Amino acid sequence: MKVYQTKELKNLALVGGAKAGKTTLAEAMLFEGGLIKRRGSVDDKNSVSDYREVELERQASVSSTVLYAEYAGKKINIIDAPGFDDFIGEVIAALKVADTAVMVINSQNGVEVGTEITWRQIKQLDKPVVFLVNQLEHEKTNFDEAVRQMKAQFGDKVLVAQYPTNAGHGFDSVVDVLKMKLFKFPVGGGNAEVLDIPDAEKDQAEEYRNAIIEAAAESDEALMEAFFENGTLSEEELARGINQGIATRTMFPIMCASAKNNQGVARFMEFVTENLPSPLEVEPTKDAEGNPLTFDEGKETLAFVFKTAVEPHLGELSFFKVFEGSIAESADLLNANTGSKERLSQLFLVAGKNRTKVEKVMAGDIAATIKLKDTNTNNTLTTSKNQGTKVSDIVFPAPKYRMAVKAKTTGDEEKLGTVLREMNNIDPTLLFEQSKELKQMILSGQGEMHLNVAKWTLETIHKIDVEFFAPKIPYRETITKNAKSMYRHKKQSGGAGQFGEVHMMVEAYEEGKPNQTEFPVRKQDVHELSWGGKLVFNNCIVGGSIDARFMPAILKGIMEKMEEGPLTGSYARDIIVNIYDGKMHPVDSNEISFKLAGRNAFKDAFKNAGPKIMEPIYDVEVMVPEEKMGDVMTDLQGRRALIMGMESEGNYQRIKAKVPLAEMNRYSTTLSSLTSGRATYGLKFAEYQQVPMDVQEQLLKAYEEEQKEEE
């Protein structure tokens, strides 16, 4: 396999909505590049890209697939990314290492949900974009409407570089305004017949070409001067201007294809090799310190792992992009994140499940290796001389959908935890935790489909039957006023007995609150609680009624009850405890006695101190089409949301609200239903607030019933 130099590389991410034809396009590109001899299809379940069992069953991509093709002396690295928002993490990782995003548009549907969602990620990462309008062979295709929607949504930088003359059944021709020729494609691929543009199309073609020439001239001062001087650009100047315009995001050309019939794909690949930027020509990726990475082949090695996969009969596969230097087979590198040494015993160029060994990978290229012992996604591999440099991380979105998960067979619980850790390693947007507080295993992801795919994987691949159910809410308990209590623990059962008596007063803690004056505070301990808030423990004992050696036991009893609050079993917080009196027995008093006395005295005082339940409140931002805003607002208000504001963003409205976590269960499914999948949202923890009294009564009643069932 040839070792390609940086300037000979083109790195593409195929992105866009589900069913736009990205996988079919990738298949045709591999066929045209000679990597495969026969084109497969999603419908026939034999495409190179969608080869995983879950994808074959669903006939849709759920993971990105790394591919490559060789064309016109260039290597085109292709990452075929999923179209569903639930798998947006795969899209973001693909865009991180791609130099150009190819946004595939279904010509029947125009700008879809997936198009809009992906565009936001592209814009955030500032990546060059080319549009490819696909499926032009369908009878419902509407190229002009698709272009209108693209311009309305993405601006006047969207420029037609090709347009069909006979879209629909029988499609086989496009006017290419870059070449100013008519391309007539044979069905099934092969060399296009290149013809003169028909007279009826010349005016339209000139209009589109002039728009591209002007945009190309604007990409460079020298080209602008040439344009003003000559009124146009030469073919060489135009090619340079298009390359720079794409690289600097001053133009987003539209190409055309029927990937299913392999029509226009070879011309698109020619366009890729001639006009799309190499890694050297785009805005450089930054290292973790904000310094640009230059793809200098003479520098020390710096490679970034952007994806991890597990393949049958092969094990763990790590996909990386070389940002500086080069990597040869059997290279010894250092993981800059963990400090571990790694040997890259084999290097592969990957096309789905097909792998080709390569001896060396140059800066800018994408490849894979196997069985790294301590390297995961978002890790940087370097030479020891370069160990302080790390590539900036892929920023994955926070989870939006959570469920409690439990193995149906008790013996599978430990195995479930191990497998979920492995799945998180492969998909960093799939998170899980064993919540000590909720006594549940919580699985979090990007949506219901995301978690359903995880469930399928657990049950089908790993043979662990699981059930999902609504997770508990991490409430907090606290108090609003002072209360006193005493508790005597006395137990006599032959021999040494147990005796401890504790008198205490509890108060609500507030930052900066002065000590109470009823009892003198002899010693104060302030404890920052791991679950948030504080416990202030005041020793107010005068005259030795309780020996100081028993104070830690009293504190331990109180802490035990705070971990399982008196109202609902939730964590308690923000409380001041004053121990002001008590009694001891010269023989029977011991630590266990005072621990139990402290625990029960605290429980009694808490219940008389105006107890209240606090609930987690989240900041929620919803991006919703303007015409759907009313429905979304009504739904949010039904979830006890406090609307904080709204902002316009193109044809969308950004709604900002504070919403109780208890009201967000299955929100992603509801939002998708309300907006036909066009709205997206994000959420992050904001604060704890007191629940309304009617909600508190419901929670208390539910907890009482739960306790009765356990007795």
Flag whether pLDDT at 147 surpasses 80.
Answer: yes
Alpha-carbon distances, residue 404 vs 61, 318, 476, 688, 706 (angstroms)? 25, 30, 19, 22, 18
Q: Can you tell me the distance from the alpha carbon of 71 to that of 285, in angstroms, rounded to the nearest whole number?
A: 26
Mean pLDDT for the stretch of residues 519-534: 95
Q: Is residue 134 exposed (0-12), middle (13-18) or buried (19+ Cβ within 10 Å)?
A: buried
CA 384-386-388 angle, to 5 degrees, is 105
**Crossing angle for the helix pair 235-247 and 221-230, to the nearest 10 degrees:** 140
Q: How far is it, in rounded angstroms, from Cα 672 to Cα 450? A: 14
Quick one: pLDDT at residue 328? 95
| CATH class of the domain whose range is 302-386 | mainly beta
**Could you give the CA distance from residue 72 to residue 86 in angstroms, rounded to a whole number?**
36
540: pLDDT confidence band, cut at 50, 70 and 90?
very high
Residue range 618-631, pLDDT digits in tens:
999 998 988 999 99
Residues 6+ apart with CB under 8 A from 64: 79, 80, 81, 82, 90, 91, 93, 94, 307
In 336-446, the DSSP E strands lie at 341-344, 348-351, 354-357, 360-362, 366-370, 380-382, 401-407, 431-435, 440-445
- What ranges do the domains of the chain cover? 6-281, 302-386, 401-472, 477-610, 614-695
The vertex-454 CA angle with 12 and 81, nearest 5°, equals: 10
Task: List the structure tokens of 484.
Answer: 């006193």
Measure CA 274 to chain center: 33
Q: Which of 129-138, 370-379, 385-394, 513-522 has the lowest mean pLDDT?
A: 385-394
What is the pLDDT averaged over residues 112-134? 92
Q: Quick one: what percent of the chain has pLDDT higher than 70?
A: 99
pLDDT-derived band at 119, boundaries 50, 70, 90: very high
d(CA 117, CA 624): 11
Which run of H or E residues covers position 212?
Answer: helix 199-217
CATH number of 477-610: 3.30.230.10
Quick check: 476 pLDDT over 60? yes
Strand pairing partners for 332? Answer: 343
CATH code: domain 401-472 is 3.30.70.870
Token representation of residue 105: 């548009």
CA-angle at 84, arms to 78 and 89, nearest 5°: 65
Tokens encoding 479 = 């108090």
Token readout for 682 is 């994000």
pLDDT value at position 492?
81
Helix (H) or strand (E) holding 100: strand 100-106
Nearest CA among 335, 349, 363 for reference residue 99: 363
User: Quick one: which of 608, 609, 615 has its CA closest to 692?
Assistant: 615
Least confident of 309-313, 377-381, 514-518, 634-638: 309-313
Give 496: exposed, middle or buried? Use CB within 10 Å, 0-12, 13-18, 19+. exposed
- Exposed (0-12), middle (13-18) or buried (19+): which is 544, by Cβ within 10 Å? exposed
Report how far residue 122's alpha carbon sits from residue 91's, in angstroms, rounded to the nearest whole number. Answer: 9
**pLDDT tens by residue, 647-688:** 987 778 899 999 999 999 889 889 989 998 888 898 999 999
Percent residues over pLDDT 90 in the chain = 79
Residue 232 in tokens: 């146009």
- Look at residue 676 in the predicted model and tell me its pLDDT: 84
> Which pLDDT score is estimated for 566?
92
> Are 622 and 582 in contact, with CB atoms under 8 Å apart?
no
Whether pLDDT at 642 is above 90: yes
Report residue 292 as tokens: 């640009």
Tell me the residue ranges of DSSP E strands in 260-392.
302-311, 315-324, 326-328, 331-335, 341-344, 348-351, 354-357, 360-362, 366-370, 380-382
Q: How many CB atoms lie within 10 A of CB 510?
A: 9
How far is 131 from 325, CA to CA, in rounded Å? Answer: 32
pLDDT in tens, 175-230: 999 999 999 999 877 789 999 999 999 999 999 999 999 999 998 889 999 988 88
pLDDT of 578 above 90: yes
Other Cβ atoms less than 10 A from the Cβ of 242: the count is 25
Pick from 233-247, 370-384, 485-499: least confident:
485-499
Q: Do residues 123 and 650 make contact, with C-beta atoms less than 8 angstroms apart?
A: no
3-state secondary structure (DSSP) of residue 306: strand
Taking the CB of residue 93, how many other CB atoms lie within 10 A of it? 26
pLDDT (mean) for 561-581: 95
- The reply to whether domains 6-281 and 614-695 share a CATH topology is no
pLDDT of residue 711: 57
The Cα 344–Cα 346 span in angstroms is 6
Element (H, E) at 24: helix 22-32
pLDDT digits (tens, 9 = 90+) for 343-365: 999 999 999 888 899 999 999 99
- Confidence check: pLDDT of 113 > 80: no
CATH 3.40.190.10 matches 614-695 = no
For residue 60, what pLDDT is reported?
Answer: 82
The per-residue pLDDT for range 591-610, each reduced to its tens digit, is: 999 999 999 999 999 999 99
Render pLDDT for 56-68 as a digit per residue (tens, 0 to 9): 888 888 899 999 9
Using alpha carbons, select from 601, 607, 599 the residue that is nearest to residue 700.
Answer: 607
Q: Looking up tokens 């803690």, which residue turns up?
A: 509
Query: What architecture (CATH level 2) is domain 6-281?
Result: 3-Layer(aba) Sandwich (3.40)
Average pLDDT over residues 630-645: 96
> Is pLDDT above 80 for 386?
no
